[in-house]
Amino acid sequence: MRVQIVTRHCDVPAAILTRAQEQLPRLTRFDQRLSAGEVVFEEERHIKRAEGVLSLDGGEPVVAKGEGPEFRAALDQMLERLSRILRRRRTQARDHHGPKLVEVVEPGI
């Protein structure tokens, strides 16, 4: 998975950038079609934000945002939201046709 990191109007510590580089590819366990990911860090006043966009082969992109007092909290919140969205999509794809109905046949007397 290609990972691109963008910072806007802020200086993000190297440890946070490394964490984003390592954690984003781990989301492929939910969907193998993930081809690229982009993380945008920005700071507005005293609020730190992280926005993640995951590109799927043959599907719509998955977007999640996180914010907090520190970049690490914003990144963790964004990663948690992305994993929740991907997990929900995987479950919906699996249960698309609904449960199979089982016909109960009682033995004739």
- CA-wise closest residue to 7 among 86, 25, 16: 16
Tally the domains of the chain. Answer: 1
Are the C-beta atoms of residues 51 and 63 closer than 8 Å to each other?
Answer: yes
We report the CATH number of the domain holding residue 44 as: 3.30.160.100
| C-alpha distance from residue 95 to each of 34, 51, 92, 101 (Å) | 21, 29, 5, 13
Give the tokens for residue 25.
């590819």
Tell me, yes or no, whether 102 lies in a domain: no
- CB 50 within 8 Å of CB 67: yes
pLDDT tens for 61-89 read 999 999 999 999 999 999 999 999 999 98
pLDDT tens digits along 9-52: 899 999 999 999 999 999 999 888 899 999 999 999 889 999 99
User: Is 11 a member of any domain?
Assistant: yes
In a domain, 101, yes or no: no
